């Protein structure tokens, strides 16, 4: 394949402009290192008159991004618009059907449409790169696809969302409330105006479904994935987790189980000085537990213009060098529909309740735990620490011995029906392998 390529770019926001600037800045070194000559033939976005960090006069403007895919002079289309359907989806389909290379940073697109994209890209034998879609600048897709191709992956887990990690880090280190930490993330440009997908765990779930697909040979799917966000974590939870020797992090974990794959996103307790507990701010980390290589840990910047555009550039270099792999590392016909097994082995849990100040409430509370097979390992009860709106109740924090998730769910259902507690309890799993 010629190392001279013509590029079309749809989406000129944070990442789109970052890619254009990064390409132009590195033009000489791309030529020197990889013999890569490129031309940006055309660009497209919603609003032609918007002020941007690139000079639009240097490029041909396409009102409709689909025309980039139809242009005979363009070899490679880069989609940096976002969204699981709409223009991102239409552009992907049109580009693949026109047998051009396609690069995206869009995890929602891949997670939702992985099956059809895998089928079409396999049938048309086209390049499809998405290194930037998971964990920003961390080269996790290439590591899974080529670095570990002979190894068997048992589970893959990590911190996959920088915004929620920033919020949890600030609640922990600066004693901020969830709302204040979120506002700080928004002021610093780490969180979108609508940060729902970062906070409710959906962004991490999209990324986990992609990692799981490559690791275990399935089509990406959110079906049967347990997704819990960080909205219900209080500042005091960080304080108590710390007393037990842990930090609270939003963890995504996919594990190969007998008869299926278990996928979950949840705030979990991780060792405070371990490989996950020390990852702070907007950073991401991915741990891959394998048969031959033990546990590999990749940590780095999870988002932002610099790391994300660098990942897009690495895909561009692969395209120019003719390096091609199947979308999820296996031909379409060899991939399986997601076979779920959410059976999670017994593990310890952090349990926090606000117990109303009335005679006998502690005894009634512990008897519910006992009835559901939950044994207490450690307990903290502080009369002096109340939540602002919970003056007549006292926080009780428990670390359980290993217990199955059915027992936890059953205790939860029973507790919320009683008048013993003033706020829904939270149960957070304690992650062992970190």
Ligand X SMILES: NC(=O)c1ccc[n+]([C@@H]2O[C@H](COP(=O)([O-])OP(=O)(O)OC[C@H]3O[C@@H](n4cnc5c(N)ncnc54)[C@H](OP(=O)(O)O)[C@@H]3O)[C@@H](O)[C@H]2O)c1
Q: Which residues bind ligand X (CB under 6 A)?
A: 10-16, 44-47, 50, 65, 80-82, 87, 105-106, 132, 136, 303-304, 308
Active site residue 258: no
Contacts of 28 by beta carbon, 8 Å cutoff, 6+ apart: none
Calculate the alpha carbon distances from 21 to 15, 54, 206, 301, 368 in Å.
10, 7, 28, 19, 60
Closer residue to ligand X (CB): 75 or 203: 203
Residue 74 is classified by DSSP as -
3-state secondary structure of 227: strand
**How far from the centroid of its chain's Cα atoms is residue 43's Cα?**
28
Catalytic residue among 207, 247, 253, 263: 207
Shortest Cβ 1–ligand X spacing (Å): 26
Closer residue to ligand X (CB): 162 or 425: 162
Nearest of 211, 8, 207 to residue 98 by alpha carbon: 8
Nearest of 40, 107, 59, 118 to residue 80 by alpha carbon: 107
Outline where DSSP puts E strands in 66-110.
76-79, 101-104
Residue 147 is classified by DSSP as I
User: Which residue has its beta carbon closest to ligand X?
Assistant: 13
Closer residue to ligand X (CB): 36 or 43: 43
Shortest Cβ 350–ligand X spacing (Å): 31
Closer residue to ligand X (CB): 59 or 427: 59
Nearest of 314, 293, 316, 312 to residue 303 by alpha carbon: 312
Nearest of 407, 406, 408 to residue 427 by alpha carbon: 408
Closer residue to ligand X (CB): 132 or 415: 132
Calculate the alpha carbon distances from 325 to 109, 142, 318, 382 in Å.
19, 10, 10, 56
Neighbours of 384 (CB within 10 A): 6
Joined tokens for residue 277: 């507990």
Closer residue to ligand X (CB): 136 or 425: 136
Distance between CA 144 and CA 325 in Å, rounded? 12
Closer residue to ligand X (CB): 129 or 136: 136
Nearest of 171, 172, 173 to residue 183 by alpha carbon: 171
Shortest Cβ 107–ligand X spacing (Å): 6
Shortest Cβ 204–ligand X spacing (Å): 12
Shortest Cβ 14–ligand X spacing (Å): 4
Beta-sheet pairing, 283-290 with 153-159: antiparallel
Residues 135, 211: contact at Cβ < 8 Å?
no
Residues 313, 194: contact at Cβ < 8 Å?
no
Shortest Cβ 60–ligand X spacing (Å): 14
Closer residue to ligand X (CB): 133 or 156: 133
Shortest Cβ 374–ligand X spacing (Å): 40
Angle at 415 between CA 411 and CA 418, to 5 degrees: 150
Shortest Cβ 184–ligand X spacing (Å): 17
Handedness of CA 81, 83, 87, 90 (dihedral sign): positive
Q: Which of the residues are catalytic?
A: 207
């Amino acid at each position: 394949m010629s190392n001279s390529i013509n590029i079309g770019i749809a989406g000129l926001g944070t990442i789109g402009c970052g890619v254009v600037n990064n390409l132009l800045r590195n033009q000489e070194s791309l030529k020197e290192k990889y013999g890569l000559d490129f031309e940006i033939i055309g660009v497209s976005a919603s609003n032609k008159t918007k002020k941007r960090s690139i000079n639009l006069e240097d490029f041909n403007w396409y009102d409709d991004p689909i025309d980039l895919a139809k242009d005979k002079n363009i070899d490679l289309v880069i989609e940096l618009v976002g969204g699981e359907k709409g223009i991102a989806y239409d552009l992907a389909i049109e580009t693949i059907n026109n047998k051009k290379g396609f690069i995206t940073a869009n995890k929602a697109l891949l997670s939702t449409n992985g099956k059809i994209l895998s089928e079409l890209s396999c049938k048309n034998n086209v390049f499809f790169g998405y290194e930037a879609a998971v964990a920003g600048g961390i080269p996790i897709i290439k590591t899974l696809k080529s670095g570990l191709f002979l190894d068997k992956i048992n589970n893959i887990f990590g911190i996959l969302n920088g915004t929620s990690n920033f919020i949890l880090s600030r609640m922990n280190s600066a004693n901020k409330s969830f709302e204040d930490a979120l506002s700080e993330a928004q002021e610093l440009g780490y969180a979108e105006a609508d940060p729902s997908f970062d906070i409710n765990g959906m962004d991490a779930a999209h990324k986990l479904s992609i990692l799981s697909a490559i690791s275990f040979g399935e089509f990406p799917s959110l079906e049967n994935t347990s997704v819990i966000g960080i909205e219900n974590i209080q500042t005091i939870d960080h304080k108590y987790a710390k007393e037990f020797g842990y930090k609270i992090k939003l963890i995504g974990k996919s594990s190969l189980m007998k008869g299926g794959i278990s996928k979950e996103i949840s705030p979990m307790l991780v060792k405070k000085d371990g490989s996950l507990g020390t990852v702070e701010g907007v950073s991401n980390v991915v741990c891959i537990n394998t048969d031959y290589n033990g546990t590999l840990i990749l940590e780095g910047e999870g988002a932002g213009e610099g790391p994300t555009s660098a990942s897009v550039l690495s895909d561009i270099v692969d395209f120019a060098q003719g390096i091609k792999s199947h979308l999820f590392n296996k031909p379409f016909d060899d991939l399986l529909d997601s076979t779920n097994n959410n059976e999670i082995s017994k593990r310890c849990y952090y349990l926090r309740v606000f117990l109303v100040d009335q005679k006998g409430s502690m005894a009634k509370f512990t008897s519910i735990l006992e009835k559901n097979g939950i044994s207490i390992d450690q307990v903290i009860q502080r009369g002096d620490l109340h939540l602002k709106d919970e003056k007549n109740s006292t926080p009780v924090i428990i670390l359980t011995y290993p217990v199955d998730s059915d027992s936890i769910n059953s205790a939860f259902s029973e507790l919320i029906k009683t008048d013993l507690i003033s706020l829904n309890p939270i149960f957070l799993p304690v992650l062992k392998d970190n």
